[in-house]
Amino acid sequence: MNELIIEASLENTNTVQDFISGRTRDCPVKIRSQIGIVVDEIFSNIARYAYSPDTGGAAVRIAVDEYVTIEFEDSGVAYNPLSSETPDISLSAEEREIGGLGLFIVKNIMDSVEYRRDGNKNILTIKKKLENI
């Protein structure tokens, strides 16, 4: 896996996007676009919430074979994004609870989303099969 170690701040979102897009340039455009949306959502959540109000480090790893596999790691507060309640998208925007829609999108775009806590680290692994176009 290729790895980028970076401060988890919103200012570094473009650097993370460039790192990922540089390794997915041979993937189909639709998959690159989907991955871009997901990477933005996940990294911005790490930047906003993992160390709040402080900042800390994050590692982003990527491997491309029959899947694009991306792993996000931080040492922030323990948080399993997969345990969050699924938003009721049948309700109007005014009736829905705030939050959770981004993770809903992540789960629906990617083929696999897994979370684990390893010591003091949050590790979120996402996968997209290259044949799903």
Task: Taking each helix axis as running N to C, give the angle between helix 101-109 and helix 29-45, from 0 to 180 degrees, rounded to the nearest 10.
Answer: 140
Q: Exposed, middle or buried: residue 24 (CB in 10 Å: 0-12, 13-18, 19+)?
A: buried
The Cα–Cα gap between 114 and 87 comes to 19
The domain in which residue 103 lies consists of 2-129
pLDDT digits (tens, 9 = 90+) for 79-131: 998 887 665 555 555 555 555 567 888 999 999 999 999 999 999 999 999 97
For residue range 36-61, what is the model confidence (pLDDT) as tens digits? 999 999 999 999 999 999 999 999 99
Q: Count the domains in the chain.
A: 1
Written as six digits, the tokens of 13 are 């979102």
Give the CATH number for residue 98. 3.30.565.10
